[in-house]
Chain A
């Protein structure tokens, strides 16, 4: 395994009396895609949100050896960590261009303009719609914008929360190809997905989460063959 860029030790998320995430530990290496799969309500999104500080949690979170747990979210982004949230959450009443600029606030003006240019090469579909209100884009375009917006902050670690949710298979293909390209550029990626089969296709390792804990960690190819993931899903409706 490549040297870890992000490592999580004993992550715990609690909502009132419910333990959504129970002592979860894993790490992400440079240029690696790790899939975090599991049934609805397993605690996958809570994990992702806790890492970036959007929900309170306990446990250790190290980004390139630096402890970042408890740090304000906006400062983490400046350190190269980013999350594409579930449901895309683009700013609907800002234009496409303004969404991208908002995503690059943590960078200098020249970095931002450089990132914007490379973003438009990556997403040619967006380049013709820079002045369009983001809320009027199609679901697939909104997902691309959400990813592009996160990349504007030049993250070295990218967390993607359900990027395939509600999208047509053809669009999912496009998004997943893009994720692989980002990995090839050296970005460490945590792919939170309910679409386990697809996630295992492009990831290097897979973590199976059920009931707030990681039940199994394995190479994605092995796990996909063993059908173990399916068994772990049993009893939980998908």
Chain B
């Protein structure tokens, strides 16, 4: 392998891994507070795709369309909390899980019937599909954007959670929910904030996803959210650093297998990836950063 190819593979790995990491963080932040995997998370991602299509067809520039899409996805995430998840809060895990599944199915149906069952083209600006030169190496602009936005978002998230009062309140609520209430932490506000953040993460991930594929369809979010779920399991359910690391690892593994496997073995790529996940979980059943699920409500 020449150095050009190594850099290219590395960039692809970071780019795909970064998108998985953003999605996994969105799942983990909800899981850490509510103990629930939000299977509607992928559909939030799809919302951002449709929002870009809607905004650009209203002659807004791509940049403004992206901001609109991320804001709308965050609002949609907050709406799902308010309408669907708050009424079942504190119910059994199965109830919450099924609720999230139902929200996902409902959104699919809305996308299929109210928008279109077929993929819609997303008008991605030409500069995003160009190559840029970086230290003498040529890399895709979209990959560069993907890696940069992942980094910026992770730094912003860490800053928010570590240094802001609402961030500390959310982490307290994630560790011991009843005691957080005893501190005067408004549970509704902490949970709604978590959904708002997870919506922003899904919005950015969705934007990156459609910018690479150039289209959006009703089931677009399905596979990525499954991957993100696997990433949170790899990292250790409920651990935010674990989710980010798990996402990066999973993305990197997929990209590396794609470039390293012989042609005949390529169809088994996902199977091999999952086999590696199984091996990892046999060695570390709680995942890489696996904390216990202590004091969960």
Across the interface, do A149 and B183 meet the contact criterion of CB distance under 8 Å?
Answer: yes
Q: Across the interface, which residues of A come within 8 angstroms of B182, CB to CB?
A: 52, 54, 73-74, 77, 82-83, 85
Cβ distance B243 to chain A, nearest Cβ, rounded Å: 16
Across the interface, do B184 and A105 meet the contact criterion of CB distance under 8 Å?
Answer: yes
Cβ distance B162 to chain A, nearest Cβ, rounded Å: 8
Distance in angstroms between the alpha carbons of A103 and B176 in the assembled complex: 13
A10: Cβ under 8 A from any B Cβ: no
Q: Across the interface, which residues of A come within 8 angstroms of B178, CB to CB?
A: 54, 73
Q: Across the interface, which residues of A come within 8 angstroms of B186, CB to CB?
A: 74
Distance in angstroms between the alpha carbons of A89 and B184 in the assembled complex: 15
Across the interface, do A102 and B168 meet the contact criterion of CB distance under 8 Å?
Answer: yes
Q: Across the interface, which residues of A come within 8 angstroms of B180, CB to CB?
A: 102
Which residue in chain B gives the minimum CB-CB distance to A112?
B165
How many residues belonging to B are interface residues under a CB distance threshold of 8 Å? 18
Distance in angstroms between the alpha carbons of A102 and B169 in the assembled complex: 6
Across the interface, do B169 and A91 meet the contact criterion of CB distance under 8 Å?
Answer: no
A109: Cβ under 8 A from any B Cβ: yes
Size bin of chain A's contact surface = 20 to 34
Across the interface, do B172 and A89 meet the contact criterion of CB distance under 8 Å?
Answer: no
Q: Across the interface, which residues of B come within 8 angstroms of A78, CB to CB?
A: 184
Binds B, one of A93-101, A172-180, A191-199, A217-225: A93-101
B171: Cβ under 8 A from any A Cβ: yes
Residues facing B in A51-90 (CB within 8 A) are 52, 54, 72-75, 77-78, 82-83, 85, 89
26 A-B pairs (CB sep. < 8 Å): A52-B182, A54-B182, A73-B182, A74-B185, A75-B184, A77-B182, A77-B183, A77-B184, A82-B182, A83-B182, A89-B176, A91-B171, A91-B172, A93-B171, A94-B171, A101-B165, A101-B168, A102-B168, A102-B172, A102-B180, A103-B183, A103-B184, A105-B185, A106-B183, A149-B183, A153-B184
B contacts, CB < 8 Å to A: 165, 168-169, 171-172, 175-176, 178-187, 291
